[in-house]
Copies of this chain bind each other. A is one copy, B any other.
Amino acid sequence: MKPLVIVDPFFRRMPEIFRPADLKRLHAIAEVAWARSEPMPEAEREQALPEAVAIVTGGWRRYGEGALDRAPKLRAIMDVGGSFPGPELDYEACFARGIRVLGSAWAFGPMVAEMALGMALAACREIAVGDAAIRSGTELWLHKGNRTTFSLYDQPVGFIGCGGLARSLRPLLVPFRCPIRAYDPWLTDTYIREEGYEPSGPEELLRRSRFVFVLAVPAPENQALLDRDRLEMLPRGAVLVLISRAHLIDFDALTEMVLAGRFRAAIDVFPQEPLPNDHPIRAATGAVLSAHRAGSVPEDLREIGRAVVDDLEAILAGLPPRRMQPAIPELLRRR
């Protein structure tokens, strides 16, 4: 008799996160309850809870109070939504009972990092604007088309936030030999230095970087961290890559300054999505714009399913999960 695992990924759909091969592995090691793209009906859920050893979920919110109590055999809650369960989950109870709470944010790191690099290169080498010029017949050839371009090689880089996205982005920058300053109030300077970054306050970071990547997870303490005064500190002609959340920036100031040609930007996230049709950033030639597309490449999302099955293999064998991201008590308390 195989252990029971609830697979209830909504708002994700099953094929969005599971490859057929991983589903097959899953069925080989566990009895699987539900495993459909629609939300699991409450009656079925309640029937499964008493035997469930793991719950794979896209929204713990649906489970409500007491669900933990009704699942005495539970050993893992595995989020597939892109983060961790919210405050509806009683984390302290989970820690006390030894229930692993595992997040999926790490799975987005590689694809978001790739997009960040691609957009940064598009900004400094003027790839999007150059492409548009050819389409409108206004392109300039050779040197004439490169008057304001520059390369990423050896440029000083700044990371606002030094967690999972930074971990994915950094190796992509290694061959470009960029020295990297990092600002992250959730890490000690000692640790940042030992990781090979130069720890830095946000202002020194802005002043001394040619490329700034905004990679931090939003939190109350970092709202509009990059306000107008700080954006003024960016060197003329720098590139600001906004890839985690618009929450971290004064977007109006950003818009004005890019429109004024003060620096360039590569922007995947906006304070309001969809972006209003008349938002002035849509016309900024100094920006590379993307409609929040960094983290939803179809094939890459299926790494979530693979890691879920990898970690279920481990947990069911009495071993620690090593692929997904365990919830860290100290950081939860900061949210």
A interface residues, Cβ below 8 angstroms from B: 92, 95-96, 98, 110-111, 114-115, 117-119, 121-122, 125-128, 130-135, 137, 139-143, 145-147, 149-153, 171-172, 174-176, 186-188, 190-191, 194, 273-275, 277, 282-283, 288-293, 296-300, 309-310, 313-315, 317-320, 322-323, 328-331, 333-334
Contact = CB atoms under 8 A, between A and B. Distances in A.
Chain copies in the assembled complex: 4
Contacts of A292: 141-142, 145
Contacts of A114: 121, 125, 151-153, 176
B330 A143 contact: no
Contacts of A142: 291-293, 296
A188 B324 CA distance: 14
Nearest to A130: B290
Contacts of A313: 188, 190
A283 B119 contact: no
Contacts of A331: 319-320
A111 B126 CA distance: 13
A237 to B, nearest CB: 12
Question: Which secondary structure characterizes the binding site on chain A?
Answer: helix
Nearest to A173: B175
**A114, A329, A333 pick with most chain B CB within 10 angstroms:** A114
A152 to B, nearest CB: 6
Given A125-B118, A130-B290, A291-B142, A282 B135 contact: yes
A11 B117 CA distance: 34
A297 B309 CA distance: 42
Given A95-B98, A98-B329, A127-B288, 4 more contacts: A96-B96, A130-B290, A134-B289, A194-B310
Given A141-B274, A142-B296, A313-B190, A330 B320 contact: yes
A191 B314 contact: yes
